[in-house]
Structure 1
């Protein structure tokens, strides 16, 4: 895989693992409340979804790492396929976020554009 694809994949993995960790473990913090615009009084009602969503993001991020490891140490084509499938999945989820909650367009853009860049670079 080319260097651009590797760097973008690492950025995507770090972003997903970082955001997922904040969702799963840091929902009670001001950082979470600022990042996601959630008021403290709503956190208890959202906790189950936040933890679940956080772990989804962490697992996706680890999947990107696994794709890099597979591409670098085993089968480059298989690693690339893992990365492209995960990236396209993230892009679809970004579009779904935009369609269902248009006011979250910034988050939806990040969730769509970066993964599309990862998939595009990986397919070069």
Structure 2
């Protein structure tokens, strides 16, 4: 795994950890309403998906970090497989996001472009 791929994987992991905090802890904050297309009357309805999606993002961040750690500690095939799958997963999920809700195109770009670049670096 190249150094560029390792650095990008860690950067994406940090980004996903920040998104976890926004989705699972801070989703009621007014500054995040536009990001999630929510309003205060939605909180009870969206709590289930925001918290769960947040945890998905945190475990995905962990997978990227573990993949890099494996790769640099002599388990390169396993680490590369984990990072490649995660990059492919988030590239696909970005497409799903924009197809599902076109108003979230910027969110999809922020999720998809780094993941697609990482996927290219891994292949």
TM-score bracket for the superposition, by shorter chain length: over 0.9
Q: Residue 61 of structure 1: SS of its match in structure 2?
A: helix
Runs of 4+ in 1 over 6 A off after TM superposition: none
- After superposition, the Cα gap between the structure-2 partners of 1:70 and 1:44, relative to the gap in structure 1 and judged at 3 Å, is same
The alpha carbon displacement at 1:30 in A equals 2.8
Q: Could you tell me whether the CA contact under 8 Å between 1:28 and 1:43 is conserved in 2?
A: yes
Is 1:33 equivalent to 2:42 in the alignment? no
Aligned to 1:71: 71
- Structure 2 residue ranges without an equivalent (≥5): none
Aligned to 1:119: 119
Q: Could you tell me whether the CA contact under 8 Å between 1:21 and 1:55 is conserved in 2?
A: no
Give the structure-1-normalised TM-score: 0.91
Indicate the RMSD between aligned Cα atoms, in angstroms. Answer: 1.3
- Structure 1 residue ranges without an equivalent (≥5): none
The alpha carbon displacement at 1:34 in A equals 4.4
Which region of structure 1 is more displaced relative to structure 2, 59-68 or 108-117? 108-117
In structure 1, C-alpha distance between the alignment counterparts of 2:74 and 2:24, rounded to whole Å: 32
Give the structure-2-normalised TM-score: 0.92
The alpha carbon displacement at 1:7 in A equals 1.2
In structure 2, C-alpha distance between the alignment counterparts of 1:46 and 1:21, rounded to whole Å: 15
In structure 1, C-alpha distance between the alignment counterparts of 2:45 and 2:103, rounded to whole Å: 21
In structure 1, C-alpha distance between the alignment counterparts of 2:6 and 2:30, rounded to whole Å: 32
Aligned to 1:97: 97
Aligned to 1:106: 106
Q: Could you tell me whether the CA contact under 8 Å between 2:35 and 2:107 is conserved in 1?
A: no
Q: Across the two proteins, how many residue pairs are aligned to each other? A: 123
Aligned to 2:17: 17
Aligned to 1:4: 4
